[in-house]
Structure 1
């Protein structure tokens, strides 16, 4: 390989082989995939992506390459590498690669022991991009991961109270309506807190207020009422 950019595809192929071998409980197969990647890199006369004209696209390919190498090796730095790849893809204006990087980030983070709630929004963003691009195979893989770790991918929509219409939803504050929209999608308090960058306790207080103002007794009743009266997106 004379072109550094082709290394991204090679690293991806090696990572796929290594991951498939690990999934099949075949450590020897995974070791062969890693060794093959190392052989290719060791044979090169210079470090990958250290020559050539810098550009956003080249920086993206470099970030993707290092992320795939980390995935092939099953390195502990995978989450950080995919995080860098996400930023590089955004800078390069590459939504498909960005969606893949978000999916891989979530996959690596969960494998590293992070709670699924921490990567829920990352997966929702990845699925949103896959939908917009019509990338059906990618969307299926994102949804498969979400099902395995029980992440709700349903998107929130604002609860809208029509002007001059007096309903129980009219008594809710903007923040309470925002949280009610999350309840409609089935999100837990922890997921809502993560997305809104507030504490679980604060979410619980808002939910209690929503139940009191709407005259409902459970979050599920409140969500059903919101869908009937105010949306989502009505």
Structure 2
């Protein structure tokens, strides 16, 4: 039997702390070594995630181009892996040409199968920084639990998924000013179309933990939402 061992891709916005290493990268390496000791053929892969608002926010605060930041952090992560003797067969990055090509192929396949659609949205915009404010670019008060510090994509206090426009008293996470609203075209993954299939698969799974199953099933019962897969 052949195994592909993966781990969560570290965000390339800063040097990973010990918890990041132990929770995903080191545990994957331990499992990979165990499988090889049992005589299985394995390949272990992961990489640095160079996308996302945390990277852009950090780069802005440091006065760097995002690529400068991710180049530096990607090398730091590789050095840490070497220091911990964590051996990936392929530790890559999202700006790798092979990765980019594969993601584009997957996007086109999903789009051609009718699971991606576009629509115009009202988005928060910071006139001072001249930026649209998705997920971590905006903070505010959670409309569900009242936590002041919720991000535009999720409240870390109650776990509810959010849209930036859901936030009460929204403000730019860079300059702390109140944003305006602009319309822009975005592409969405039609996740609700998979509600029934996901529910059955999760319900019948013998490998997911009870906590993971209950959390996922509760999200489906509450009603899945189409998820934006593009950013401005």
The TM-score by the shorter chain falls in which range?
A: under 0.3
TM-score by length of structure 2 reads 0.25
Higher RCO by CA contacts (8 Å cutoff, separation 6 or greater)? 2
Say which one has the larger Rg.
Answer: 1
Structure number with higher helix proportion = 1
Structure number with higher strand proportion = 2
